Chains A and B, each alone.
Chain A
């Protein structure tokens, strides 16, 4: 019956048509544009508005940035060269570079010391931040605080060595007694460290720092971005262990310890950092023994550490609360006592959950170190608002300086938050 078929159908295609490319509007860049920028009329309006905003910002800032001068010696000279043309006067940065970074009193021939300390900070922090690195590098991390102290403040090498010896002695006693009981090891370690410090402190001669290898620099000479970095790094690292202790204390069954921790945390979290810095600058010295002189830097470190440890404690408490109850019961059923359960089961998991929060606190704290400029310490913001803007050469150079400060903080804070996101992905052990 093939002829009927041939009579009714004039043409039968026997091969498939080759695939034709999609219409121009549904492919490549145009499709992307249509889907992402001009999907609906309202969306197109938004796109146009966004483009306008971008154009306004870029047309204002780009000529200013690229027309910038880097080599003049004062704002007046800068304006003379520009002659009304838009252009930044970045020469304030190149001329006052050292002041912005180190403050205006740090001895100029000693800048290599904070530089070296900053460089070594990366080596010290690396094994803490990246777990794949050999664990032996942690030895350097342990030595770093003493080394950095010696590099930045200078003076007698005996001071950091004695401090280090105290910690070593404490650690040895802890190792020795931890097998009998945690309390014995812990308190014994602390006692041993104090004994070493008192004895050695009495032995160090008064004039030890007179002819030291590195000349001694008093804390009030520190300044610039270095001060922000020092405050940030010191206070975050000090507040981590205190924060863990406070969080555990707040979870404790013992009412007295629980309430001390609650009152401390809520008090600190309830007041702004500025008032705590006021305490550091005008009030705290009343609480030290009459003959002692505790310098402002140390007082500020104490108050900022208290501040951040309260916040870190709350973050870690969140992590502890997020752990399922079975983990606590499991640790109990294995016969672990409280310190063992915390060290081996609870804290590793709770800290992992709290990492994003801890990083948030760290970033916030680092930003808050700029507040010390209010109590007349010359950190980066303090240097800009004080000596540099007040000088006759650079009176009126606002945007270059403030932009530079903003950029420095942005780079550091954004870097830290990117690291935390990487770490979260890295530590995610659940299977998805």
Chain B
């Protein structure tokens, strides 16, 4: 009879740290930790010595100092007596503004171009391929400069709108395209206008509730309610009715030429337009490729199967093709949005006062606080991109194919 004994317990030998795969990773990590700590110590030491030699210290007190510079494009109250931190907040809002606008228009351009690239029409297909290749292969900085040049060097000055036979005239008598920016009519909120706005918001909720009801009814009883026209009606009718009931409280402030410049309405500055439009068409070309890839990723069998089930083309698109295509399109779309936000930092090239131009540009040059400014700048962009990628992870896990 044989007895099975445990193999003799080996005592730990030092050589195991190198030759035994169980312990080797510990050795490597210890070495890596040491190298890391040494380089951090080395860089930090250099930093301290350099700062001491230059008579500098790291402090964020400068944020409370008076900024002493003006920002023409701003969303909140700001003047040259405000603090640097206020200027930075103006910059943050401007960055978010241009990123938001560019995301919307880039999506529109991209979807149109992407769908048209799959068109049956040879000429349109080639034209869109041309658009995509041209815009993807030329740096966005050059596009921004080109559009900014159109804005400043090609468009007429406000002076050209003067006189009996002006060289330039306003489009539809409401929009003025000048080299100082584009002037558009702006709303004037009279008393009672809030009621109209509230009605509008309520009707949006009404549309959502109606569509939900229609879907539930369809699933419960199989009865199909019309949704399109009721939605359109709900969207417009209550608001327009309320508008007249309240006695037209919302007016239009149309820009007018007074003296040497336009006044009234809303002014959209040239730098904002240049940045917005350039980012949109540049990123639109990338989104077009994503859209095309997404639609092509849905196999033809899916469309044919949906047709075989008796679905009409509109429903095939809505219920079968789009949900599957969106699964492919949306993740790269969101990373394109992230790219727009990061590329909006090129605002500094055309003088748009985003966070890079205020905090990383003028504030940095005025105060000389390079390290603090650049750190804050990075922190801001890092926060934005981490937020967006966190959102993307949530989205990705929610659309993941539920497999058993």
A interface, CB within 8 angstroms of B: 35-37, 39, 43, 46-47, 50-51, 53-54, 253-257, 260, 266-267, 269-275, 278-279, 282-283, 285-290, 363, 367-368, 370-371, 373-374, 381, 385, 396, 398-399, 402, 405-406, 409-410, 413-414, 417
Contacts and interface: CB of A to CB of B under 8 A. Distances in A.
Contacts, number: 149
A341 B210 CA distance: 60
B160 interface: no
A46 B124 contact: yes
Interface stretch (B201-209, B212-220, B314-322, B381-389): B381-389
B270 interface: no
A263 B139 CA distance: 28
B141 to A, nearest CB: 5
Contact of B46 (A254, A257, A288, A368): A288
Interface in B42-64: 43, 46-47, 49-51, 53
A37 B122 contact: yes
B362 to A, nearest CB: 13
B377 interface: yes
Given A257-B32, A272-B342, A282-B364, A290 B153 contact: no
7 contacts: A50-B124, A272-B381, A282-B370, A287-B47, A289-B46, A406-B138, A413-B138
A398 B153 contact: yes
A271 B378 contact: yes
A417 B136 CA distance: 10
B309 interface: no
Given A46-B119, A253-B25, A381 B374 contact: no
A278 B377 contact: yes
A47 B121 contact: yes
Nearest to B51: A286
A267 B375 CA distance: 12
B153 A283 contact: no
B345 interface: yes
A385 B343 CA distance: 19
Nearest to B371: A283
Nearest to A366: B139
Contact of A381 (B46, B142, B386): B142
B47 A367 contact: no
Interface in B159-201: none
A337 B140 CA distance: 45
Contact of B138 (A46, A269, A282, A409): A409
Secondary structure type dominating chain B contacts: helix
B356 interface: yes
Given A270-B382, A282-B370, A290-B53, A363 B145 contact: no
A274 B346 contact: yes
Contacts of B29: 254-257
Given A50-B124, A367-B137, 10 more contacts: A46-B123, A47-B124, A51-B123, A256-B33, A266-B386, A275-B360, A282-B364, A290-B46, A290-B49, A371-B141
Contacts of A255: 29
B127 A405 contact: no
Given A254-B29, A274-B348, A282-B374, A287 B141 contact: no
Contacts of A410: 134, 137-138
A36 B121 CA distance: 5
B120 interface: yes
A409 B139 CA distance: 7
Across the A-B interface, the 3 shortest Cβ-Cβ residue pairs: A36-B122, A282-B370, A413-B137
B370 to A, nearest CB: 4
B381 A270 contact: yes
Interface string B125-146: 0010000011011111110011
B345 A46 contact: no
Contact of B377 (A256, A275, A363, A409): A275
B345 A272 contact: yes
Given A275-B374, A282-B370, A370 B127 contact: no
A212 B153 CA distance: 48
Interface string B81-124: 00000000000000000000000000000000000100111111
A269 B139 contact: no
B66 interface: no
B303 interface: no
B25 A381 contact: no
A398 B142 CA distance: 11
Contacts of A260: 32, 36
Given A270-B386, A274-B345, A287-B43, A405 B121 contact: no
A254 B25 contact: yes
Contacts of A269: 385
B385 A46 contact: no
A183 B256 CA distance: 76
Contacts of B149: 398-399, 402
B175 to A, nearest CB: 21
Contacts of B28: 254, 257
A342 B292 CA distance: 35
A194 to B, nearest CB: 14
B38 interface: no
Interface string B329-373: 000000000000011011011000000100010001000001100
B338 to A, nearest CB: 9
A376 to B, nearest CB: 12
B264 to A, nearest CB: 31
A51 B378 CA distance: 47
Contacts of B53: 290
A280 B377 CA distance: 14
Given A272-B345, A283-B370, A286-B51, A54 B141 contact: no
Nearest to A33: B122
B142 A370 contact: yes
Contact of A414 (B119, B137, B139): B137
Nearest to B364: A282
A374 B346 CA distance: 8
A256 B32 contact: yes
B142 to A, nearest CB: 5
Contacts of B32: 254, 256-257, 260
B46 A367 contact: no
Contacts of A409: 137-139, 142
A272 B25 CA distance: 35
Contacts of A286: 46-47, 50-51, 371
Contacts of A385: 145
